[in-house]
Structure formats: C-alpha cells, structure tokens
A and B are shown apart, each in its own frame.
Chain A
C-alpha cells in the first residue's frame, strides 16, 4: 500500500546530541513537510520541500535541519541547538502546486529528552 513511513516511533535524545527522524513516502509526491505538535496544540511547520534538492524554512526552523536528496525521503535532524525538542513530529506529503489536494501524514515520531 502507498503511504508515509516515519521511524522510529519513539526516540530519546541526550543533552548535546543530534538525532535524525526518518520519513519515507511511496506516493510519488513532490512535496514533503515536517510539523511539530506540542500537547494540546495544533501543528507548526518546521520545514518543507517542494522538489528534490530544495527546501524552505517554515515557522519554527531554528534548531532543525533537513535534506532532500531523493524524492522519497525527507529526513529531519533535531540538533543540540533546539533547546526544547520534546514533542510529537509529523511528516506529510502532497501533490505539489495543487492547493485542492490534501496532505497525507505519517504516524509520527515522539521525541523525548533523557
């Protein structure tokens, strides 16, 4: 079945450590997105990519980095500069340049600090 796979489901980070969250899609979508969700809150956009080898900052990009070397993959690195990384991270994808098309979401990665 086509979909978005995020891994791992749970991740723990030590102080000063960088961690990378994986996001893979087999929907042949051009655009991919990373969101952060804090308890009881909506989603905030971290980074997005509309085509391979290109990406843009969202609303809360500080302390995060991404790459888009392949159409199917959009990994997110949470760096040690992100001082409050504990949250639920959601990856999404969509057909690009079609505002009437929805975004499809993965099942998320829950990141906690040790």
Chain B
C-alpha cells in the first residue's frame, strides 16, 4: 500500500537557522505530493505541492522538490522564524487509490528567538 515516512521530531531550531524535514514515500501508482502545516489548535493548511517528478513546490520561503529516483520530498527553508513553529505533515495522493490522502506522522517544529 501507500505510505509516508517523516523524520522523527520534535525539531528545535534557533531563529534564522536552516530547516530540513525529511520525507520519503512508497506508492502503488504515480503520486502527487503535499506538505501541510498545522498551527496549535487549528486544522491543516496546504503549504506546497508537487505533482510530477522534478517539480519544485514553494510557498512562504519553504521549498520541496519531488525526487522520483529517491522517492523523497524533503521540506526546506533557508531561515526559519518563530512564527514557523508548528507541526508539518508530508502527504501523498494517488489516483489509483481513490481520492484519499496518505499522511506521515507529522514533525513538530519549535523555533526559539
């Protein structure tokens, strides 16, 4: 079946540090890949997406590149801010699996001033 594996958290960084959150996947078909962010007490917000190999999704300084050869979609940001503190979820969606999303376990990020 489909699955997503994220690096274990929590991750704690100082402001302006470089961020990488690893995400790898296995899929029965050709997936679209997504990163979602969840702030405390809220639902999930789409952060970025990529729908085919070598696509780069980007938003709010975050980037992730769809790497088919390594089945990865790592999230990066060059300089994190305190306001980036949240839980980040990697997810995939495969048409052959119907319309469901498969999520990773989530990575808690805390950025200290």
Contact = CB atoms under 8 A, between A and B. Distances in A.
B34 A102 contact: yes
Contact of B95 (A48, A92, A97): A97
Contacts, number: 62
Given A41-B105, A99-B32, A99-B93, A48 B43 contact: no
Interface size class for chain B? 20 to 34
B106 A33 contact: no
Contact of B46 (A31, A41, A104): A104
Interface string B88-113: 01000111001111011110100000
Contacts of B46: 102, 104
A105 B43 contact: yes
Contacts of B108: 40
A24 to B, nearest CB: 14
Contacts of B45: 105
Contacts of A94: 99
A107 B42 contact: yes
Contacts of B95: 97, 99
A50 B100 contact: no
Given A31-B99, A41-B105, A48-B99, A100 B51 contact: yes
Given A108-B42, A108-B43, A48 B103 contact: no
B44 interface: yes
Contacts of A102: 34, 46, 49
6 contacts: A42-B104, A96-B99, A99-B95, A100-B32, A100-B51, A102-B34
Ordered nearest first, which 10 A-B pairs have the shortest CB separation?
A99-B95, A105-B43, A100-B51, A105-B44, A42-B105, A100-B32, A42-B103, A102-B46, A107-B43, A99-B93
